[in-house]
Amino acid sequence: MAACGSLSSRIVSGSRTACSTLTPYIRSAAASHLLSRKPDTKNSSTHRLANAGPRCDLRASGPHRLYRTSSLGTSGNSSDFASGVEEKTPALVLSDAQRRTIYALSTPPGKAGVAVIRVSGPDALEVWRGLVKTRGEGKGKVKACEPEPWKMHRCEIVHPGSGEVLDDGLAVFFKGPRSFTTEDVLELHVHSGRAIISSVLNAISLFPFCRPAERGEFTRRAFEGGRLDLTQVEGLRDLIDAETEIQRKLALRTAGGSTRARLEELRNETIQCLALVEALIDFGEGEEIEEGVFEQARARVLKLRDTIRHHLSDNRRGEIMRSGVRLAIFGPPNAGKSSLLNFLAQREAAIVTPVPGTTRDILELSLDIGGLPVIVADTAGLRKTDDIVESIGVDRAKQLVESSDVSLCVLSAPDVLVRSQGGDWDLRLPSPVAPLVKDDTFILLNKTDLMPPSALAQLPSGTTWAVSLSTGHGTQAFMDSFARALHNSLLVENGLEAEEPLITHARQRVHLENALEFLEAFLETPPEDVVFAAEELRYAAQAIGKISGVIDVEDVLDAVFRDFCIGK
């Protein structure tokens, strides 16, 4: 987890008083920043969204810090710089849009070996100059010096006003565009403690052109700078959230650009087909261009449609791998469902008693089963009941079983194994349970300690196991086999390891489904309506582009970046 907002905002709120101690150095830096900067001309990539306006609009106003314009020179005492409030000369107010350099704690707040504070934006170097005093080889005296980009510098971090040493640490300067955000980035590695972090963030807040970062703002800048597309942004967020090996591997590949490349292929192919149809509109068949162009486009769109259909018929594997397999444990009362949940969780998460009907509502836990993320739900025992609370629990249990990805029916072996006249043991499912047991339902026979061994000799293998959760007998074999079965049900297709899913988020699926609809609409359009046909292809390309954000996607950006933490 990266740092959350409260710490930095609390620290920044005290910054106006601290401004009174600023040195002439910062004042001149601020002055040159405000008065001599040219407007940012870098915002030209297709990824870039409308950002801040010109950074030095002296007419702008806002609720932020106030500075006297007359003090923005190279002389005068530091108190001149504190605030324009009591001064007669007009105050200069910087809006958030003008303060383009952002900073935040990028590691979790609290006691730890190291905390990393990130500064990104056009003035990161100014922050270095004000805060970082580097040490030469050995134990030389510290002094201000320019950073060697991408190299870790041993340094002292000092208060830019008083020169007081705040901490001894490391600093590294990434020269844009070869940085995460594509801007100049400064990283300060300090000891992680509340007072240290607080003092360093406070010191950075004294620079008038800096402001605290918002949630996911560093990553958003990486997106706006063209370093990441939206699928990579989502992959990065998933990587931070990953709790199991499968999640980590999938997220790492997505963050590394595998989805981006595959989508780019689909979009390029759509655009190629569009180009063929556009050519037909512009020149007309049989004149300047060869015949059969529309058929060529159709043939390619057919292939494209099949590829997209294939990606969409993935049983939501990517979303399930990312967010977890939903496993419902169900069965009659007193079978041992809660005992199983506790066994899987390795703790007393659910109440276990000999009283049938103890579990009334759904209890969910996120667990790692054989590297797979699994959201396991314990449910109320299924039986006919007049108890209103219990019957609500039973209804909820049934709904959950129907909507889960995988279900496991727990039965008490002595209750369901019945000896036939021929001496064989038959499995009799209780009537409230039977309708929910499907071909792909896993079955666990519990309480084998109460059964003769002969009763368990003929159990079908693969998806039915027999254990005693009380004695532990059979539980290890069950776990190994169940984890394998879960893995196979999710990640194996026709006996082979399923291909890596293209879609890992519901948002991506919606856009890909839209693209498919437009392609199908194109295929239904007759050649005479070539203009409409071209429109369908254009919409299809746009729908694919929305997944990676290569076209204007302002509406989806907030949704994607909202779940990030501050500092990321």
* Helix ranges, 404-524 (H): 413-416, 475-491, 506-524
Of 221-229, 243-251, 328-336, 432-440, which segment contacts ligand GTP by CB under 6 A?
328-336
Q: How far is the CB of 179 from ligand GTP (least distance, A)?
A: 54
Give the nearer residue to ligand GTP in terms of CB position, either 254 or 359: 359
Answer for which of 179, 247, 323, 359 binds ligand GTP (CB under 6 A) is 359
Distance CA 109, CA 374 (A): 29
**Would you state the structure tokens that stand for residue 92, as one six-digit string?**
């200069």
Residues 6+ apart with CB under 8 A from 13: none
Site track for ligand GTP across 432-471, x = CB under 6 A: --------------xx-xx-----------------xxx-
Give the nearer residue to ligand GTP in terms of CB position, either 186 or 400: 400
Give the nearer residue to ligand GTP in terms of CB position, either 255 or 408: 408
Q: Which of residues 111-150 bind ligand GTP (CB under 6 A)?
A: none
Give the nearer residue to ligand GTP in terms of CB position, either 87 or 449: 449
Q: What is residue 83's DSSP assignment? A: -
Angle among Cα 197, 198, 202 to the nearest 5 degrees reads 115
Q: How far is the CB of 448 from ligand GTP (least distance, A)?
A: 7
Written as one letter, the residue type at 239 is L
Interaction between residue 354 and ligand GTP (CB under 6 A): yes
Beta partners for residue 174, in sequence order: 185
The footprint of ligand GTP on this chain (CB under 6 A) covers a number of residues equal to: 22
b/e code 519-537 from CB counts within 10 Å (16+ = b)? bbbbeebeeeebeebbbbb
Residue nearest to ligand GTP (CB): 381
Distance CA 163, CA 145 (A): 15
Distance CA 465, CA 479 (A): 10
Give the nearer residue to ligand GTP in terms of CB position, either 358 or 391: 358
Give the nearer residue to ligand GTP in terms of CB position, either 212 or 333: 333
Interaction between residue 270 and ligand GTP (CB under 6 A): no
Q: How far is the CB of 414 from ligand GTP (least distance, A)?
A: 9
Distance CA 426, CA 440 (A): 19
Give the nearer residue to ligand GTP in terms of CB position, either 257 or 357: 357
Tell me which residue has tokens 């047991």.
Answer: 437
Interaction between residue 407 and ligand GTP (CB under 6 A): no
Q: How far is the CB of 460 from ligand GTP (least distance, A)?
A: 20
Around 203, how many Cα atoms within 13 Å sit in the side-chain half-sphere? Answer: 29
Site track for ligand GTP across 181-210, x = CB under 6 A: ------------------------------
Say how far residue 165 (Cα) sits from the centre of its chain.
Answer: 37
Q: How far is the CB of 418 from ligand GTP (least distance, A)?
A: 18
Residue 54: CB atoms within 10 A of its CB come to 13
Answer for which of 335, 344, 400, 502 binds ligand GTP (CB under 6 A) is 335
Interaction between residue 531 and ligand GTP (CB under 6 A): no
Contact 188, 128 (CB under 8 A): no
Q: How far is the CB of 451 from ligand GTP (least distance, A)?
A: 10
Cα distances (Å, whole numbers) of residue 363 to 55, 350, 397, 444: 53, 8, 10, 19
Q: How far is the CB of 386 from ligand GTP (least distance, A)?
A: 16
Give the nearer residue to ligand GTP in terms of CB position, either 315 or 399: 399
272 burial (CB, 10 Å; 0-12 / 13-18 / 19+) is middle
Site track for ligand GTP across 366-395, x = CB under 6 A: ---------------x--------------
Answer for which of 318, 336, 373, 432 binds ligand GTP (CB under 6 A) is 336
Give the nearer residue to ligand GTP in terms of CB position, either 317 or 360: 360
* Helix ranges, 316-434 (H): 317-323, 337-345, 388-403, 413-416
451 burial (CB, 10 Å; 0-12 / 13-18 / 19+) is middle
Give the nearer residue to ligand GTP in terms of CB position, either 18 or 397: 397
Which of left, alpha, beta for 238 (phi over 0: left; psi -120 to 50: alpha)?
alpha
Answer for which of 231, 339, 508, 542 binds ligand GTP (CB under 6 A) is 339
Of 4-12, 78-86, 202-210, 333-341, which segment contacts ligand GTP by CB under 6 A?
333-341
Question: Among residues 562, 558, 564, 559, which one has the least CA distance to residue 2?
Answer: 564
Contacts with ligand GTP by CB under 6 A lie at 333-339, 352-354, 356-359, 381, 446-447, 449-450, 468-470
